[in-house]
Amino acid sequence: MHPSDSRMSAWGPVTYTIGSSSASSFPMAQFKDVNNPTTIVWTATSSQIGARTLRIRTTSSFAGGRPTVTVNSWSSSNPDAPTKIDSRGVTRGTWRGYNIMYEYSIPSGTLVAGSNTIAITVISGSSGDDFLSPNIVYDSVELY
């Protein structure tokens, strides 16, 4: 089903709260012009803070879309554009995606005991409208 199909749930920016949001509320794809950013909120204990790595794996992208992150007040550098796939992927289906792993080193002092926020934003030097805007398709997001 195309993401703009009226039978689909509405697309828009998501705030996913660890511990209370359902897995189905995390987007399968993120479009620069439709549901940017995806925000993850959680409460950390003192044993869970310190320098950490945030890993985002994608199975596909379009128009140079790639994730950049802000963790509390710290912002990552922008990753290089992914290998171009001559396909709209998520809007028409493809099996030719390039699986890409993005890793962000979060410095000590960024995460706090208490409430923390990660904002994942799709960036690109290209443009497009709505579901043809630069995008990524998620495989996984992990913090370790």
- For the chain, give every domain's residue range: 14-143
- Residue 25's identity, in one-letter code, is S
Residues in the chain: 144
- Spell out the per-residue pLDDT of the chain, length 144, in tens: 677 787 878 899 999 999 999 999 999 999 999 999 999 999 999 999 999 999 999 988 999 999 999 999 999 999 999 988 766 667 666 666 688 999 999 999 999 999 999 999 999 999 999 999 999 999 999 999
pLDDT of residue 27: 95
66 in Cβ contact with 124 (< 8 Å): yes
- pTM recorded for the entire structure: 0.92
List, in order, residues 6 or more apart from 127 with CB less than 8 Å away: 63, 133, 134
Q: How far apart are the first and last CA of the chain?
A: 34
CATH class of 14-143: mainly beta
